Amino acid sequence: MVKICCIGAGYVGGPTMAVIALKCPKIEVVVVDISVSRITAWNSEQLPIYEPGLDDVVKECRGRNLFFSTDVEKHVAEADIVFVSVNTPTKTTGLGAGKAADLTYWESAARMIADVSKSDKIVVEKSTVPVKTAEAIEKILTHNSKGINYQILSNPEFLAEGTAIQDLFHPDRVLIGGRETPAGLKAVQALKDVYAQWVPDERILTTNLWSAELSKLAANAFLAQRISSVNAMSALCEATGADVTQVAYAVGKDSRIGQKFLNASVGFGGSCFQKDILNLVYICECNGLPEVAEYWKQVIKVNDYQKNRFVNRVVASMFNTVSNKKIAVLGFAFKKDTGDTRETPAIDVCKGLLGDKARLSIYDPQVTEDQIQRDLTMNKFDWDHPIHLQPTSPTTVKQVSVVWDAYEATKDAHAVCILTEWDEFKKLDYKRIFDNMQKPAFVFDGRNIVNADELRQIGFIVYSIGKPLDSWLKDMPAVA
Ligand code: UDX
Ligand code: UDX
Ligand code: ADP
């Protein structure tokens, strides 16, 4: 029986290993983590992450061939294949601060593998890490090898949160990078055999190590670039009276471009896009390619611009002041169907509104009050550390209340900001909301999910990203 151990029971490690266990009943999969609370949650009825379909998969395999443990060293020692899926934060100090990946957790995991191993191992890089990390890890392992043979593979994860289980069941592709030596090819084949249990052969791509690592950064950069492209267009649409949805539809009909990932929004978030692009930028700069670095940097600049633009629009529309006004924020997660708030645009938008002294009443169906308070008090880039090492925030933002109902959040509010596209926000009784709000009542739809015409009929002043502005908004231009 092949034994797999995954270091890091997070958004990537947890779901990926659960699906491997489901699809490969003959493989024993143990997911280990230094966070006791995370492992306890994985072993309980209340899993530590919200992901549609995940509960069923875990229930079917847990205790059969899927296990969660804090006994990191024991399970690493016993494994044939070790996946490493630990945090790779952006450095906040020192060389490359604000851009380069901090590989502290990766390196400590590698050293631990070297310490405890007694048999040959395939070590699989699963976290997004900068290109050439595998080589660094290989060096640590071989310099501490005690005669043990290690093969390093890069197997980047392409799942998106909210659809992780479906993405894992039916991946567009599985990418495995390895050394092009006989031992390297054998290791690639061993990992291929695992995925081949459910993924068609033509979807399992094999490359060299560097190509696999770079493909992950490139794929995320391309996806983010599409969003910044359509968001840049949304600003032009508002200025000129075009409708970004119509423009995106017409553009996407070109089969060379395609329809997906062209939804204008308040900005992209999530743990990957910004971090991976910053990494890419840093790698370009280190390799003497400033023009290429500048090109990708612009994707992040447009994303920041989009978030600022939204805040400015809110403030400008409300007579240039939101001071002491109650603003309801619907949605805090970085996208629907997840409770994840890492790099969510809601953080910047809320901070922007708080900077103008607004009072916020926030509702998200999956995000807790603790998490929201932590996000609004934490410094940029500080989120990406093992949970138990994250700075806890004794301070809370007083102008923020977190409620468990959209009607409660909007009661007596001057404005509603929709920041996550949760389906339930489409079905709210907006007449009831309008009746309980201050007048004029505003809706700022950062995800283009409400029917703006219907809301205008009710009496709202409505702003939708990239859509023709109504006369109120035209009369109160936002300066970006
Ligand atoms: C992303 C990649 O899609 C995935 O392949 C990779 O493995 C990890 O990073 P994820 O961050 O989970 O996945 O979610 P994704 O669906 O890509 O959305 C990222 C952000 O972009 C969200 O904030 C989302 O709301 C936003 N987005 C997405 C848009 O604003 N418009 C779109 O058209 C699509
Ligand atoms: C383009 C648009 O494709 C077309 O829809 C529009 O109506 C007019 O402009 P065209 O300029 O004739 O058409 O050719 P196209 O095939 O788009 O190529 C444009 C340039 O891009 C060429 O120099 C081509 O060699 C280059 N190209 C194209 C690349 O370098 N790489 C590619 O992957 C594709
Ligand atoms: P991702 O989205 O990439 O899965 P997460 O932050 O959700 O990232 O998960 C990473 C996990 O890795 C965390 O639960 C963290 O506690 C764990 N971790 C970090 N360093 C180590 C380590 N050296 N040994 C075991 N687990 C670790």
What ipTM does the predicted assembly reach? Answer: 0.96
Q: Decide if pLDDT at 393 tops 70.
A: no
| 155 marked ligand binding residue | no
What φ, ψ does residue 49 adopt, rounded to 5°?
A: -130, 150
Read off the pLDDT band of 313 (50, 70, 90): very high
Give the pocket of ligand 1 (CB within 6 Å).
157-161, 220, 223, 227, 261-263, 265, 268-270, 272-273, 334-335
Architecture of domain 221-474: 3-Layer(aba) Sandwich (3.40)
pLDDT digits (tens, 9 = 90+) for 60-85: 999 999 999 999 999 999 999 999 99
| 274 marked ligand binding residue | yes
pLDDT digits (tens, 9 = 90+) for 260-294: 999 999 999 999 999 999 999 999 999 999 999 99
Locate the ligand 1 atom nearest the alpha carbon of residue 335 and give its number: 25
Please tell me the pTM assigned to this model: 0.96
pLDDT at 131: 87
| 16 marked ligand binding residue | no
Q: Decide if pLDDT at 352 tops 70.
A: yes
Locate the ligand 3 atom nearest the alpha carbon of residue 388 and give its number: 16
Range from 123-132, 350-359, 391-400, 424-433 carrying the lowest mean pLDDT = 391-400
Q: Where are the domains of the chain?
A: 3-199, 221-474
Instruction: Report the candidate in 226, 230, 270 with the shortest Cα–Cα distance to residue 246.
Output: 230
Active site residues: 272
pLDDT at 395: 78
Locate the ligand 3 atom nearest the alpha carbon of residue 88 and give its number: 3
CA distance linking residue 452 with residue 461, whole number of Å:
9
- Name every residue whose Cβ is closer than 8 Å to that of residue 40 and which is 6 or more positions away in sequence: none
pLDDT at 128: 82
Mutate to test the pocket of ligand 1, among 50, 168, 247, 272 (most ligand atoms within 8 A of CB): 272
Give the pocket of ligand 3 (CB within 6 Å).
7-13, 32-35, 38, 72, 85-87, 105, 108-109, 127, 271, 386-387
CA distance linking residue 291 with residue 293, whole number of Å:
5
Fold agreement between 3-199 and 221-474: yes
pLDDT at 39: 98
Q: C-alpha 109: how far from its chain's center?
A: 22
| 6 marked ligand binding residue | no
Helices (H), 36-148: 36-42, 54-61, 72-78, 104-116, 133-143
- 266-279 per-residue burial string, b: 16 or more CB within 10 A, e: under 16: bbbbbbbbbbbbbb
Higher pLDDT, 12 or 391: 12
In CATH, the number for domain 3-199 is 3.40.50.720
- How many angstroms is it from 220 CA to the middle of ligand 1? 9
